[in-house]
Amino acid sequence: MGAKRKQKASRSRNPAQWFEDHALELCVVVITLMTAVCYFIGRAGLVGWYDAAGVPQLVFSWPAQDVVIRGVTDEDIWLLVLLAFGGSGLYFLTLSLVSALISKQAAKVRDLRDRGETVWSRGERRLCVWAARRARLAHSPSAALATVRWRTLGKRGQLRRKARKAVSKPWQPPVGVVAMVLAACVLIAVTFGYASLILLLHRAPYANGVRAFSDQYLAATGQEPPLRQLPSWAQLQVPMSEASKEAAILRGRRLLAGYPFVRVTPKDADSGGEVDCGWLVQASGGALVLLNSQGLLFRSFGDAGFSWKPVAPDACVKGAAAADPARPR
């Protein structure tokens, strides 16, 4: 029985053993949290793209795994998350080092106080000792005076240490003060955590989604996208420079390379065989979103349906012009 109790006590005092015993549960919790974080990041990016494009969010449905994959592949957000965790770890490490240094210096000050000395008196004692030694080595008459000054400082070291007083009852702060301090700490922690989560899991991916649509629109049309919402002081459009515009066009072309360029024709014969061409951004049921040189096209064919065929951008323009001579080239 004694051996079992000692073994349980050693396990309870060893944190590494606890992690080994609950490794499976910890893995499940970490995977669940990471999946939820990836879903929030991916969903915020989609909402930003839809808001910038002016497309209703409820028209298209995204599978959960696609949203999670979109959140996993958002490199900018994960870089911010790593920087946030690294900065937090560095902050707490700095606090621990500073606390250890202050504790070490405070221990020295307490030791001096117990011996009835201060930093200044100890420095004065050392100066007197050095002066007496130099005078003795030089066989100077001032050696006697230096020795007298040294002796006037009195006993030193353990001989000067005061007897410790009886341990008195430690001071306890009022319960109300402790409760107020704890409540303030909890409020600050919750506020900081909420602001950090909103910034990392919503604001940053939302801004990435808006910037992705702006780059795609600029690469497809050569013009900046129009504002879909009432501009505020933080959303006013600033004219882009030529260098930033070229960089945005390059980013937009890389993003558009992931979408097929198609020719869309309705299956309903009464529609006149109208042809739409562009990058097929999204399609679900009878609705689709195309992006071409004319801008963003949102088409809904209802129950009639549509058919699309991947083509080259030049071939699509020639084919559309031949099918409709009145259509501008």
pLDDT in tens, 86-143: 888 888 888 889 888 888 888 877 777 666 666 677 777 777 777 777 776 766 666 6
Chain segment 29-75, per-residue pLDDT in tens: 888 988 988 898 889 888 888 888 888 777 777 888 888 888 888 88
- Contact 156/116 with Cβ under 8 angstroms? no
- Cα dist from 52 to 12, 214, 239, 284, whole Å: 55, 8, 17, 20
Q: Please give the span between the terminal C-alpha atoms of the chain, in angstroms, as a whole number.
A: 92
Domain boundaries, the chain: 116-159, 259-323
The pLDDT assigned to 183 comes to 92
pLDDT for residue 117: 67
The rounded distance, in Å, linking the Cα atoms of 54 and 51 is 5
- Are 241 and 83 spatial neighbours (Cβ–Cβ below 8 Å)? no
State residue 215 phi and psi, 5-degree precision. -65, -45
- The one-character DSSP state at 269 is G
